[in-house]
């Protein structure tokens, strides 16, 4: 009834259309929070397209890493900033030529790339994961940890250096800040903090001001 190939094609164009519209709204929406959400939608529909191409690991990694973590931080920052929309709009005409030049250069480059690809008539090879009879994730893991182990580890190392550098850049030592030391708190003995003193019970002295049990001075009849 429904041709699977046809359905796949329709799905591809639908996801692609959503991606393009969402990407356009990222730069056209006035509200910056809306723009961030449009970017989230762009990522999400890109992940759907990758899923169609049977790159399930990349698709889900995109959602976990970008949608689930990076964009949440983005949203976090954008919500905290009080962006003055009018001020941002001021430079629009001034920067328009520069923007146009960049856009045109990018367009020409992309067209050139597409042209090269068409002339080579490069067709996509056989999906190596299906050829090996494994799921996409398993195949990717195999390839990364055997064939491409060194580049993979180097990339991981560079990222780690980046993380440490970012922390080092923002870390500042301040004096006079008191931090909670959980280990010290746990190590504390009750004996060091509380001293129990033995003493005889005190009885209120009759007639002294302030003592509750002093008999009220009743006028004698």
Partner 1 sequence: MGDQILHQLIIPILLVVAVVLPLTLTVALYVYWERKVLGWMHVRMGPNQIGPLGLLQAFADVVKLICKEVILPTNANKFLYYTAPLLALIPALAAWAVIPFGARFALSNANAGLLYLLAMTSLGVYGIILAGWASNSRYALLGAMRSAAQVISYELAMGLCLVCVLVLAGSLNLTDIVNAQAGHKGILDWFMWPLLPVFVVYFVSGVAETNRAPFDVAEGESEIVAGFHVEYSGSTFALFFLAEYANMILVSFLASLLFMGGWLSPFPESVPVLGHTSFIWLLAKAFFFAFLFLWFRATFPRYRYDQIMRLGWKVFIPIAIVWVFVAGCMKYYGWVHIGTGG
Note the helical H segments in the chain: 4-28, 32-52, 56-61, 71-80, 85-90, 92-120, 128-132, 136-142, 149-170, 182-187, 190-193
Task: Show Cβ contacts of residue 109 under 8 Å, excluding neighbours closer than 6 positions.
Answer: none
- Taking CB under 8 A as the binding criterion, the range among 90-98, 134-142, 163-171, 204-212 that sits at the site for partner 1 is 134-142
CA distances from 13 to 20, 161, 169, 186 (A): 10, 40, 44, 60
Q: How far is the CB of 138 from partner 1 (least distance, A)?
A: 8
Should residue 164 be labelled a site residue for partner 1 when binding is judged by CB under 8 A?
Answer: no
Q: How far is the CB of 59 from partner 1 (least distance, A)?
A: 9
Q: How far is the CB of 193 from partner 1 (least distance, A)?
A: 20
Should residue 135 be labelled a site residue for partner 1 when binding is judged by CB under 8 A?
Answer: yes
- Please give the residues from 75 up to 94 whose contact with partner 1 meets the rule CB under 8 A: 75-76, 79-80
Should residue 16 be labelled a site residue for partner 1 when binding is judged by CB under 8 A?
Answer: no
- Please give the residues from 34 up to 73 whose contact with partner 1 meets the rule CB under 8 A: 37, 40, 56-57, 60-61, 63-64, 67-69, 72-73
Query: Scanning the structure block, which residue is given the tokens 């890493």?
Result: 65
Sites of contact with partner 1 (CB under 8 A) = 1-2, 31, 33, 37, 40, 56-57, 60-61, 63-64, 67-69, 72-73, 75-76, 79-80, 135-138, 180, 182
């Amino acid at each position: 009834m429904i041709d699977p190939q046809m359905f796949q094609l329709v799905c591809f164009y639908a996801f692609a259309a959503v991606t393009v519209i969402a990407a356009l709204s990222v730069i056209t929406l006035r509200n910056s929070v809306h723009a961030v959400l449009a970017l989230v939608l762009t990522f999400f529909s890109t992940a759907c397209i990758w899923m169609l191409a049977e790159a399930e690991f990349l698709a889900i990694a995109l959602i976990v890493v970008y949608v689930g973590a990076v964009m949440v931080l983005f949203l976090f920052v954008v919500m905290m900033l009080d962006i003055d929309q009018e001020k941002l709009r001021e430079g629009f005409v001034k920067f328009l030529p520069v923007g146009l030049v960049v856009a045109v250069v990018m367009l020409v480059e992309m067209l050139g790339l597409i042209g090269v690809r068409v002339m080579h008539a490069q067709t996509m090879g056989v999906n190596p994961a299906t050829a090996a009879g494994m799921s996409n994730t398993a195949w990717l893991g195999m390839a990364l940890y055997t064939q491409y182990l060194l580049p993979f580890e180097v990339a991981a190392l560079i990222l780690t250096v980046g993380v440490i550098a970012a922390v080092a850049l923002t870390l500042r030592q301040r004096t006079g800040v008191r931090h909670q030391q959980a280990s010290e708190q746990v190590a504390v003995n009750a004996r060091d903090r509380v001293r129990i003193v033995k003493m005889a019970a005190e009885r209120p002295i009759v007639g002294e001001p302030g003592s509750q049990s002093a008999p009220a001075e009743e006028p004698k009849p």
